[in-house]
Amino acid sequence: MSKLPTRLRRNPILRRLVQETELSINDLVQPIFVTYSNEKTEILSMPGQYHIPLDIIEKEIKRLVNVGINAIILFGIPEKKDEKGLDAIDDNGIVQQAVRKIKQHFPELLIITDVCFCQYTTHGHCGILDKKGLINRRKSLEYLQKQVISHVNAGSDVVAPSCMIDEMIKYIRDVLDNNQHEDIGILSYAVKYASSFYGPFRDAAHSTPKYGDRQSYQIYPGNIKEALKEAKIDEDEGADIIMVKPATPYLDVIHQVKNLVQCPVAAYQVSGEYAMIKSASEKGWIDEDTCILESLIGIKRAGANFIVTYFATSAAQLIKKNMK
Ligand code: PBG
């Protein structure tokens, strides 16, 4: 008997019949940066991604809804920062205003809001600091609850805490339940590595810590047991979806988290992953379109139910084109 695996690869229809993983537009979430400034500006280290003024947000959203994107994750760029990141908890803060505006025009679009303080604080850390400059957990949890309620009152469908503060999910679930928001889901950035691949995002969100780094709350890249522990704790505290971030250097983590938890698993293909594909293809060293799709299918194969990616809109266009 001849064992020839290529038998199944000779015919395109047969190839598609035996294809194990499929990437669909329903798997993609597009991050959006919204700003008070009235100029739409391209993010230097993320070509093709923009700071979008609140005034024209609906026009921008229309563009991605038209290619079939059903879900976005919103990041706000506040006008001014302070020690406590007050814009983040203000009912008229940048994210809250954007959510209301988007919901009004696109009631069907799923809006996930990133819940964190680093873009909003003068020090650039993800929570409220104590006198020694360390994260004050209790105070941060209290402010996180305020931020969540304010987002949900504005119309956010799912809240996504990304600050890696212990027990954040427990506190957020509590405050949602106690305020008649039992139906609002939590997408937890449970497994967030202390990664250098966030570099371009920090330029984009102006959220580089003014001193120190995030190693005291994010996970060391070489650790996986700790990642599994985080995932399990967050699921037990009531997270509805567990996210792993970044994606490509952590495919084994996605896979193992998937096997561990009962809830769906998401992956975040971060700014540095985007920038690498963008810059290499701009140089003509790789083919952008096929590399985008290959990177995303790889993340799905590892076990992600869906992917937060700056390529969402381009990938949706490519998927549509390939279906024709
Ligand atoms: C924190 C946050 C970060 C990202 C999303 N939410 C950055 C960080 O921890 O510095 C990174 C996303 C990316 O790199 O694309 N609010």
pLDDT value of position 99: 98
- CA–centroid distance, 22 to ligand 1, in Å, is 27
Top-confidence residue, 251 or 82: 251
Q: In angstroms, how far apart are the furthest CA atoms of the chain?
A: 74
pLDDT value at 206 more than 90: no
The reply to whether ligand 1 has any atom less than 6 angstroms from the CB of 270 is yes
pLDDT value at 61 more than 80: yes
> What is the rounded average pLDDT of the residues 127-148?
91
> In this structure, are residues 120 and 86 in contact, taking their beta carbons and an 8 Å threshold?
yes
Map residue 308 onto helix, strand or coil. strand
pLDDT value at 256 more than 70: yes
CA distance 63 to 59: 7
The reply to whether ligand 1 has any atom less than 6 angstroms from the CB of 170 is no
Top-confidence residue, 105 or 163: 105
CB neighbours of residue 281 within 10 Å: 16
In this structure, which residue's CA is closest to atom 14 in ligand 1? 198
Which range is least confidently modeled, 29-33, 213-217, 240-244, 291-295? 213-217
pLDDT bracket for residue 207 (50, 70, 90): confident
CA distance 220 to 227: 9
Which range is least confidently modeled, 141-145, 202-206, 277-281, 291-295? 202-206
pLDDT value of position 257: 98
Q: What ligand 1 atom has the least distance to the C-alpha of 208? A: 10
pLDDT value of position 324: 66
CB neighbours of residue 50 within 10 Å: 18
Dig out the tokens for 163 from the structure: 């600050």
CA distance 272 to 263: 27
